[in-house]
Amino acid sequence: MDTYLDHNATTPVRPEAADAISRALTQHGNASSVHRFGRLVRHTLDEARESVASLVGVSPANIVFTSGGTEANNQALRGFDGTVLVSAIEHDSVLGAREDAQMVDVDADGVLVIAQLREKLAQSEEPALVSVMLANNETGVLQPVREIVRLAHEHDALVHCDAVQAAGKIDVSFGHLGVDMMSVSAHKLGGPQGVGALIVRDGLDPEPLLRGGGQERRRRAGTENVAGIAGFGAAARIAREKLELFAELAGLRDDLETKLRAAFPDVVIHGVDGDRLPNTSCVGLPGMTAAIQVMQLDLAGVAVSSGSACSSGKVAPSHVLRAMGLDDAAAQSAIRVSLGWNSVPRDVDRFVDAWAAMAQRRSADATAQRAVA
Ligand code: PLP
């Protein structure tokens, strides 16, 4: 049986979400129609909106459904008129949304350098928007978002938080964080791919990316992806109910890291000293590129990813690990292992066995090469 440990790339659809999708597909009204068919679909959307709103502690009116985290990030950033500040470890969908954005460094633990943000905010002569992720997709490292918000608001700047990797994995409260906008995505928490939401605080009106129809209170035109949204709602409800179970994955993750260290003391776990998501481990095996590791593990029936899975085809070293101060070789030798809602101890054991065998082969090869030289 194959072992899937790439849940930060996408996690299997929860059965409750699949059921909600199937049910929604049997409803054929348009939510904008006033007749009973339309009203039934509107009810499906309303229910899902409530579940997603509850997941992050907002009211349903704050939710704008989108085609995913990428679109939500683009909407938050593209229409903003002023200076945009982003951390150097943001997802490509943030970095690519505003190429004029100013970067704020992170330290060796992958945490944003607050003093540098303070300086840049003080220097900005126009309105500013700070975009910072809650949890990094490659390392799982959490950012001090509340502190960032306090600082930004002192400078009258807005804060957008990419919570795509955090929502449904840890308790995320929009109000407690104090952010102005937040992005979430269904397929990272047991819903389908291709649906997400931008959450917008009361009184704020980000420019729509899509114009035309009046859907989503004129914030996102186009007939809603009803089945996707229904699946998102069901997944958000279950993820919220099972947050404590998800937290227990930290035990499995720690066990995995302990076993790797025992098997191969040279292993490096990136971001281990910061606060992290409970499910993510970024594992460096010096002297072997991540691309080769991912292929060898795949041959052994274990699925993990190299750096950011959204760009897993790319050979460039991870910009996240480079920003944490690693050199190209080290940044290119790290793989991401991410557990999920259906992970079990056997998955960890199968990964550790496959990884230890690969590390041993690498050591044997290195010894043989030295003997030849
Ligand atoms: N933001 C982060 C931190 C992510 O990890 C991802 C996807 O991996 C995205 C945004 C993009 O989300 P989506 O795949 O829903 O477009």
Inform me whether the pLDDT recorded for 324 exceeds 50: yes
- Supply the residue whose CA is at minimum distance from atom 14 of ligand 1: 69
Probe target for ligand 1 pocket from 137, 169, 183, 232, with the most ligand atoms within 8 Å of CB: 137
Q: How far apart are CA 270 and CA 260, in angstroms?
A: 13
Same fold, 3-10+245-372 and 15-241: no
Inform me whether the pLDDT recorded for 309 exceeds 70: no
Residue 313: its pLDDT value, please? 54
Crossing angle of helices 249-263 and 345-372, rounded to 10°: 20
Compute, in angstroms, the gap from residue 169 CA to the centroid of ligand 1: 14
CA angle 82/86/88 to nearest 5° reads 150
Taking the C-alpha atoms of 307, 309, 311 and 317 in order, what is their torsion angle to the nearest 10 degrees? 10
Atom of ligand 1 nearest to the CA of 310: 8
* Confidence band, pLDDT 50/70/90 cuts, at residue 366: confident
Q: Where are the domains of the chain?
A: 3-10+245-372, 15-241
Class of the domain covering 15-241: alpha beta
pLDDT in tens, 236-275: 999 999 999 999 999 999 999 999 999 999 999 999 998 9
Neighbours of 303 (CB within 10 A): 17
Compute, in angstroms, the gap from residue 133 CA to the centroid of ligand 1: 10
CATH code at 3-10+245-372: 3.90.1150.10
Probe target for ligand 1 pocket from 6, 11, 66, 70, with the most ligand atoms within 8 Å of CB: 70
Residue 310: its pLDDT value, please? 43
